[in-house]
Chains A and B, each alone.
Chain A
Amino acid sequence: MDDLLREFLTETNESLDVVDVELVKFEQDPNNEKILGNIFRLVHTIKGTCGFLGLPRLEAIAHAAETLMGKFRDGVPVTEAAVTLVLQSIDRIKQLVADLEASETEPAGSDEDLISQLERMAEAGKPPEPVVETPKHTEGALIYQVLERQLRPGEVSLDELERAFRETVVEPDRAAEPAPAAAAAEPAPAPAARPARAAQPKAEAKDGDGETKAGGVSAQTIRVAVDTLEHLMTMVSELVLTRNQLLEIVRRHEDSEFKVPLQRLSNVTAELQEGVMKTRMQPIGNAWQKLPRIVRDLSSELGKHIDLEMIGQETELDRQVLELIKDPLTHMVRNSADHGLEGPEQRKAAGKPDKGTIRLSAYHEGGHIIIEIADDGRGLDIDKIRNKIVDNGLATEFEVEKMSEAQIFKYVFAPGFSTAAKVTNVSGRGVGMDVVKTNIDAIGGTVDLKSVAGKGTTFTIKIPLTLAIVSTLIVESAGDRFAIPQLSVVELVRAQQNSEHRIERIRDTPVLRLRNKLLPLVHLSRLLDITSIGAEATQPVSEEDGFIVVMQVGQQTFGVVVDAVFHTEEIVVKPMSTMLRHINMFSGNTILGDGSVIMIVDPNGIAQAIGPSQSAGTSEEADHEEERTRDTAQMVSLLLFRAGSDEPKAVPLSLVTRLEEFSIDKVERSNGRDLVQYRGSLMPLVYFDEFAQRKTEGSLPMLVFSDAGRSMGLVVDEIIDIVEDRLEIEVGSERAGMLGSAVIKGKATEVVDIGHFLPQAFEDWFRRKEISSEALTRSLLFIDDAPFFRNMLGPVLKAAGYQVTVCASAPEALDMLEHGRRFDVIVSDIEMPEMNGFEFAEAVKRHPRLRQIPILALSSMCTPASIERGRQSGFDDYIAKFDRPGLIAALKEVTTHEFGVAA
C-alpha cells in the first residue's frame, strides 16, 4: 500500500473515533464552540486529504457533513436528528475507509442519499442566510462543486470555518491555508499530486500541535508497528528467563566474579522489561472510545434516557489485554442499556430519575485491573433466571432451590442463556454473556456480578495487567512443582493435625473449616492423578497435613491441598504443545529460574473439575450436621493465652472460631466501643480486662468467636499455646467471666467463661435467637455435675433456642421430673457421682410418663462400648462433649422428630 494512503487511513481512523465521541458530547452541550471547532477541524482535515488523494466519494460526504455543521456554527439549533445524520455520515465515511483499506481503491457507488439529506437539513435550518444553492455532489462534478462553492454565499461559512481553526489551533500560518486547500481540491486527481505535497506538511503540522488531546506530545511520538513491539516483548521475555537462569547459577557458587556484572545485567533487564511493558500499555479509554456513541444510538433506539459515566479512562493496561476485552465490554454495556435499565415510565414509577446511568469505571488493584460496569436499573430477576435454569435443563428444580443467589446469578454466563423476554436487536439472543465470560477467562480474568432488585446490577471484571508475565505461586505436590496464578489465590492456610486448621472429612471428602465456612478441599496430586516417584521425593505427607491454597474462581471458593509452598515467581507464560493442550488443568508452561520446566495450573480447570456443587457457601447448619462425626477424644484441645494477669488462661479451642491479630491503628471507635473491620463487616472488640492499661501501639492478638454470621473479638495479651489435656475444673470461681481453675499441662490455669463475654459484644447475642425461635421454644433439662459444663453449655443451649433448666445431679433431675416438671428434651452427662447417666436414663425410660421424652447423652467418653451402653440405657443419641454443633444438630433432630410424631 502506498505510504501516503496508509498514513491517511491511520489518521482518518483515529480522527473518526474522536469525531464520534465529540459529536455525542456536542449534542449534549451544543453551545460549546470548542467541541464544534474540534469536529470541524477533524472533518475538514479528512475532506482536505481526500481531495488530494483523489477520493471523491469521501470528499463529497465530508464536505456535505461539514456544511451542515457550519450551520450549527451559524447558530442553527442542534437537533438530535441533525446529529444523527452527521453520525450517519461519519459511519459512511468509516465504511468507505474500511473498504479503502481492504482494496486500496475507493469503492464505486453513490452517496447521493446521504448527501441530499445533509443538504436538506442544512438548508432547512438556516435562518440567517436562506439563499443557498443546492450543490450537486456527484463524483464527476467535483470541479463545479468547488467553483460553485467559491461563488455562493457558502464561502462565508468557509471563513467561519477558518476562524474556528484559528480559535482552536494556535498556528500563525493557518490563515494562509484556504487558498492551497481549495487549490488542492480543485484540479483532477493526477495534477493534484504536487499541490498535495505542499498541503501535506501543513496537515501534519496541524496534527502536531492538535491541542485537543495530545497536547504538544504527539510531535515527539512515532508510530511503531505492533509486530515490532510484540517481537521486542518476546525477546525481552527470553532475556528475563535467561537472566533468571544466570542468577540461579550464580546463587549456587559463592564469591563468583560474575556476581557484580550479573547484578548489573539484572537491573538493566528489569528496566528494559519495564520499558517494553510500558510501550505496550494503553489507557483503557481507548477501548471505551466507541461506547458513548453506542450508548447514544441505543438510547434513541430503545427510547430510554441513558447517561454513560466513565471513570478511570486513563488506567493503563496491556495492549493485548485491551484488545481482548474491548468486545466483551461493549457487549456488557449494551446489555446494561437493554436489559439493565428500565424505560423512563418504569423508572419514574419506581421513583428513580428517568435518566438511567451506566457507570463504567476502571482502576488498578494489586497487579490487576478492576473494571466495573454498573447500572442503576432493575437488577436481575432471580425468579426468571431460576425458571430459565430449569427450563434449559441446566439444573433441576430441587437443585435450584438449594442454590444461593450468587450461584443462580452465575448462570447468566451459561451458554445460550438470556432472560430477555423478547429478543431485541441489541441483546437477548443468548449469545453474549457466555462469550464475555469465555473471553475473560481466556485472559486469566474473572467476572463477577452483584445485583440488587430494583437498584441495579454491577459486573466486576478482574483481569491481569499483562498476559506476558504472570505472578505465580510455586507449589509442590507429589514431588513435582506447579505454578498457580496468584490472581486466583485468596490465601494460604497451613493445615496440621491438632491445629485450629485441620483437614477433616465428610465420608471421604476432605473439607476445611475456615471462618465458619466449610471449604471443599481437593488434593492437587489427586486432581492431577499423580503419585510421588523415586526416593528423592519428600516422604509421603500425612493425609491430614499440608498447605491449603485457598482459591477463588468466580463465586466458587475451594482449597487445593499441596505438599509444600515455595515462593512466588514472575513467570513468562509459554503456550503448551498441541499434544498437551487438551489437558484443561493447565493453562501453559514456563521455564523457572533454575532452568526446569514447570506446568502452570489453570484455576478455571480446577474449578470445573471440582464442580459447582462443591463450592463453599452452603448453609452453616448443614455443614455442622455433617461435621459431627468427629471429635471423640476424651482429651480436649485448649487454647492457652494470657490476658489481664500473668496466669495462663484457657478456653476450649472448639469454641474459638479463629485467631487473629490486628494492628492497633486498625481499631476504630464508634458508639463507645472499639471495632475493627473484619471480613467486610465491623467486629466489636471486647477487652478481657476492661480496666487494664491498653496498648497504644503494636498489634492486638484476639480470639474471634463467630456465631450465625456475627463475630466478636476477645482481645488478649498473648496467645501462648494450644494443648491437649483433660479439662477438670478443680476450683470453682466466683469471678465473672471465669469458670474456675484447672491444672493444664501441670500449671494452674483459669478457665474462661466465654458466655460471659459474648453478650458484651452484642447484647442480644443470646436473646436474638430466642426471639427468632420463640414459637418453637422447647424446654430442656440439662444435667451435669461439672460447673464448667453447666456454665458453658447452658448458654449455648439457650442460644440454640431452648429454655434451659440446669441440674447438678441425676437424682435431683429425677426428682424434678417426678414432681411434674415437663421437658421437651433431656441432655445428660454420663460420668456423675451418685447416679451416672446410664442409670438416670434407665430410670427415665422406666417411668411411663417420662418415657416419651427424648434423652441425649453428653460425654467426654465416646468409645463404641459406651455408645452401645448408652443406646441400651435408652439414650436417643450420644454426643461428645465439646461437639457443640453436633449437640445442636442432634437436639434439633430429636425435637423435630418428636414434634412430628406428636402432630
Chain B
Amino acid sequence: MSDDVNGHNESIQYVTVVIGGQLFGLPIERVHDVFVPDSITRVPLSRPEIAGVLNLRGRIVTAIDMRRRLHLPPRDDGGTAMAVGIESKGESYGLLIDNVGEVLDLPTAGREANPVNLDARWTAISGGVHRLNGQLMVILDVDRVLGGMSEAAAA
C-alpha cells in the first residue's frame, strides 16, 4: 500500500535495515518489533523465501529470508541475523535482515520514484527511494513483499 509512504507534506519515520549491503526503510508503524530470531524451524516444501517458522513469545511467526526475497546471494559474513516483526492480515511475519539501523524521520517530499532501470523484482516491492547523505534508502513496501508471495503460492 503506497498510502503508507504517501503522507502530505509531512514526514514519515522509517526503521532502516541493511540487507545485502543495501539500506532499506520500513514505515515505523508497520514494524512491531525487532528481534534476534532463534531456532527457526524449516518448513519443507515451502517457497524458498520462507526461512521457516519460529516462536516469538508464544506466537508462531513465519520468517521470510529477505535476501532470497530480493534475489541476493546468501549471507557469508557469519553475522547474527536480525528480524523485523510485522503483522499482516492478522498473521505475524518476521523479515530476516542483516542489520537494523536507526530510525529516520524523512520528509515525504523527499521520496522519489523507483529508477526505471531498477531490477523489476525490486521495483515490485519497493515504494520509492530516498536520497540520504552518502547513500540511498529503498522503501520496502511490506504488503507487496508479502502479497507477492501469497500470489505466487496460489498460482
Contact = CB atoms under 8 A, between A and B. Distances in A.
Interface in A569-625: 574, 577-580, 582-583, 585-586, 589-591, 595-599
B43 A599 contact: yes
Interface stretch (B46-54, B105-113, B131-139): B46-54
B91 A577 contact: yes
A585 B44 contact: yes
Given A480-B42, A579-B153, A597 B53 contact: yes
A590 B52 CA distance: 13
Interface in A65-101: none
Contacts of A577: 53, 60, 62, 91, 93
A582 B58 CA distance: 24
B134 to A, nearest CB: 36
A589 B60 contact: yes
A511 to B, nearest CB: 23
B6 interface: no
B33 to A, nearest CB: 17
A578 B58 contact: no
Given A577-B62, A579-B50, A582-B153, A591 B55 contact: yes
A586 B60 CA distance: 15
A583 B39 contact: no
A130 to B, nearest CB: 69
Contacts of A596: 39, 41, 54-55
A585 B45 CA distance: 9
A490 interface: no
A452 to B, nearest CB: 42
A579 B47 contact: yes
A598 B54 CA distance: 9
A241 interface: yes
Nearest to B41: A597
A596 B52 CA distance: 11
Contact of A579 (B44, B46, B54, B58): B46
Contacts of B52: 597
Given A585-B45, A597-B41, A580 B60 contact: no
Contacts of A595: 39, 55
Interface string A799-841: 0000000000000000000000000000000000000000000
A578 B39 contact: no
Interface in A495-536: 528-530, 533
B89 interface: yes
Given A579-B149, A596-B55, A530 B42 contact: yes
B154 interface: yes
Contacts of A238: 58
Interface string B125-155: 0000000000000000000001001100110
Contacts of B53: 577, 580, 589, 597, 599
Contact of A241 (B41, B58, B62, B89): B58
A168 interface: no
Contacts of B46: 579-580, 583
Contacts of B45: 528-529, 583, 585
Given A529-B45, A597-B39, 16 more contacts: A480-B42, A533-B42, A574-B60, A577-B60, A578-B89, A579-B47, A580-B43, A580-B62, A583-B46, A585-B45, A595-B39, A596-B41, A596-B54, A597-B54, A597-B55, A599-B53
Interface of B: 39, 41-47, 50, 52-55, 58, 60, 62, 89, 91, 93, 146, 149-150, 153-154
10 contacts: A242-B58, A582-B153, A583-B45, A583-B46, A589-B60, A590-B60, A595-B39, A595-B55, A597-B39, A599-B44
